[in-house]
Amino acid sequence: MKRFIVSGPSMHFALRALVSGLALALAAPAGVRADETCASPYMKKITGQEDYVYVWTLGAEGVGDEQDKLVTVDANPKSPQYGKVVNTLSVGGRNEAHHSDFTDDRRYLWAGGLDTSKIFVFDVHSDPARPVLSKTITDFVEKSGGVVGPHTLYALPGRMLITGLSNNKDHGGRTALVEYTNAGEYVATHWIPTDGDLRGAIKTGKYADGYDYDVRALPRKNLLVTSSFTGWNNYMMDFGKMLADPEAMKHFGNTVVTWDLHTKQPKKVFDVPGAPLEIRCAWGEAHNYCFTSTALTSQLWLIYEDGEGEWQAKAVADIGEPAKVPLPVDISISNDDSRLWVNTFMDGKTRLFDISDPHHPRQVYEKTIGAQVNMVSSSWDGQRLYYTSSLLANWDKKGKDDEQFLKLYYWDGKELKEQFAIDFYAEKLGRPHQMRFGARALYAGPAGDGNRLVQARVE
C-alpha cells in the first residue's frame, strides 16, 4: 500500500488521493481503456467509445454570433448524428477561449479565457449532449493576487489547479499556479520562481524567469511539472507584428520547473530555451519521465528522473527543421508510452515519434492535416485522433490559410485515415481550439453504448 507522510494543509489532499487509489484498486478492471491520454490521473475516466467531443471555440468577428462557445459534436459512429454538431452554447463576448478540462469527478468542465481571465464552468453531467453554463468566475485576477490568463485547468482531488500566463502589473510573463475548489472557491496562489525570488527552488542554469504555461503531475513520484510561454502583451499581439518586434521576442519563457505535488513547493528550475509548451507524462509504472516541446527552437525535451533519483532535463530530438521554425504546439502520448504525436502549426503537420527509448525519440511518420493545425486529442486505445486548427485569435493565419476545422482520423498503425471533418467557418461557429471527450452513459451506470465510469487512476 502507498504510504503518505503528510501534515498541515496537504493532509486533505493526500487523504483524497489515498481514497481514490483504494477505490480504483477495488473497482477498476485490469487493462482498463479510457479516454484522452493527456488527462489528469486523478480524473474519473470513461471507457470504450467516446460519444461526444466538446470543442472550446473562439468567437470570430463576422462569424455567427461572434461569441466564444462550447460546441458539442457527436463522435459515436453508431449514432445517426455521427460527425455532426448537436449543440452550441455561447458564453457572451470574445474572451480568447483557449483551454478546458474536467473536475476530478468529471461532472463539470472548466474553460478559460486568456484575455478577460474569466473562467466558465459547464455542467456536463446532467445532460452530456447539452451542457449548461453553471457558473462564471469573473474575479480570478483579484482573488489570485494579480494572475492573468487562466490557461491549463488540471484536476486534483476536489480541486482545480490553474496555470496563469501573465499578471496585471505589466502584462508580462511573470505568473503563478492558482488553486480553486471544485465548487469554484479560491484556495491559494503559488508564484513561479524568479531570480529575485526562487522560493526555495534550486536554479540549475541561466534562467529563473517566472513564466508558466502547462502543468502535469506524476502522483507516485509526488511531482508536478510546469512549463513556460509568454505574457498577455505577446499572446494578444498580431503574430506578424510580434515576430518583427525584437523586444517582444525577448519575452518568452525558457524554463521548466519541478515541484513537490503535495506542498506546491518549487524544487528545481531547468533551462529549456524556446518556450516549452504542453507537458505529457508517461503512464508506465516504472516510467519516470515527461516530454515537452519548444515552440521557438523546435525540439523535444525529456524531463526525467536519473539513476540517483534526481530530476533532470535535456533536449532529445529535433522536430522538423528548427531553422524554419515550424512552431511545435500540442503533443499527445500513447497509453503504452511508445508513441508521441507532435503538431506543428506553421506547416500544418502532425508527426509521430517512436519514443520507446525516451532518450532517443525518432520520427516515423508525418501527415499534413491542414494549412494550420494546433491541438491533437488521442483516444486511449490510440485508434482515434482529433485535430483542431486555431492557436490564438491574433496568431492564426490569414486569408485562404485561415482554415478552421475539427477533424477525426483513424490510425491503423501505418496511416492516418480521415473519418469526418467539420468546417467551423462554414458552420458559423468560429475558431475551434481545445477538445475534451464526453459520454452519453457516463452518469447512468454501465448500461449504454459500451461506456463505463471508473475511478481515477492514482499511482
pLDDT of 215 strictly over 80: yes
Bridge partners, 216 (sequence order): 225
Which residues have C-beta within 8 Å of that of residue 434, sequence separation ≥ 6? Answer: 55, 56, 98, 99, 100, 375, 388
Give the residue carrying C-alpha cell 483557449: 98
| Strands laid side by side in the 186-191 sheet | 147-156, 159-167, 176-181, 186-191
Cell numbers linked to 377: 486529442
Q: How deeply is 23 buried, as exposed, middle or buried, from its count of CB atoms within 10 A (0-12, 13-18, 19+)?
A: middle
pLDDT above 70 (res 263): yes
pLDDT band at 443 (very low <50, low <70, confident <90, very high): low
Residue 158 has pLDDT above 70, yes or no: yes
Does the pLDDT at position 257 exceed 70?
Answer: yes
Question: Is the model's pLDDT at 452 over the cut of 70?
Answer: no
Question: Checking DSSP bridges between strand 266-271 and strand 202-203, what pairing results, if any?
Answer: parallel
Residue 449 CB neighbours (<10 A): 14
Question: Which are the contacts of 102, defined by CB distance < 8 A and separation ≥ 6?
Answer: 39, 43, 108, 109, 110, 124, 155, 436
Distance (Å) of CA 255 to CA 176, 227, 228, 269: 14, 6, 6, 7
Give the model's pLDDT for residue 381.
87
Task: Tell me: pLDDT of 127 over 60.
Answer: yes
> What mean pLDDT, rounded, does the chain reach?
90
Is pLDDT above 90 for 11?
no
Q: Would you say the C-alpha torsion 96, 99, 105, 106 has a positive or negative sign?
A: positive
pLDDT at 262: 97
* CA–CA separation, 110 and 247 (whole Å): 34
Whether 9 shows a pLDDT value over 60: the answer reads no
Share of the chain above pLDDT 90, in %: 85
Q: What does the alpha-carbon distance between residue 191 and residue 264 come to, in Å, rounded to a whole number?
A: 10
Q: Which CATH superfamily is domain 52-440 in?
A: YVTN repeat-like/Quinoprotein amine dehydrogenase (2.130.10.10)
Res. 47 pLDDT band, cuts 50 70 90: low
Residues 6+ apart with CB under 8 A from 2: 18, 21, 220
Strand order in the sheet with 85-90: 85-90, 69-74, 52-58, 431-438
Tell me the pLDDT band of 442, cut-offs 50, 70 and 90: low
pLDDT at residue 111 in the model = 98
CA distance 385 to 404: 17
DSSP, collapsed to helix, strand or coil, labels residue 64 as coil
Residue 72 has pLDDT above 80, yes or no: yes
- β-pairing, 276-281 with 289-294? antiparallel
Q: Residue 441 has what pLDDT?
A: 64
pLDDT band at residue 35, thresholds of 50, 70 and 90? low
- The mean pLDDT of 114-123, rounded to a whole number, is 98
Query: Which residues are bridge partners to 227 per DSSP?
Result: none
Q: Rounded CA gap, 14 and 397, in Å?
A: 45
d(CA 129, CA 440): 7
Residue 340 pLDDT > 70? yes
Give the pTM. 0.91
Place of cell 507584428: 241
Give domain limits for the chain.
Answer: 52-440
Give per-residue pLDDT as tens, 385-414: 999 999 999 999 999 999 999 999 999 999
Q: How confident is the model at residue 457, as a pLDDT?
A: 38
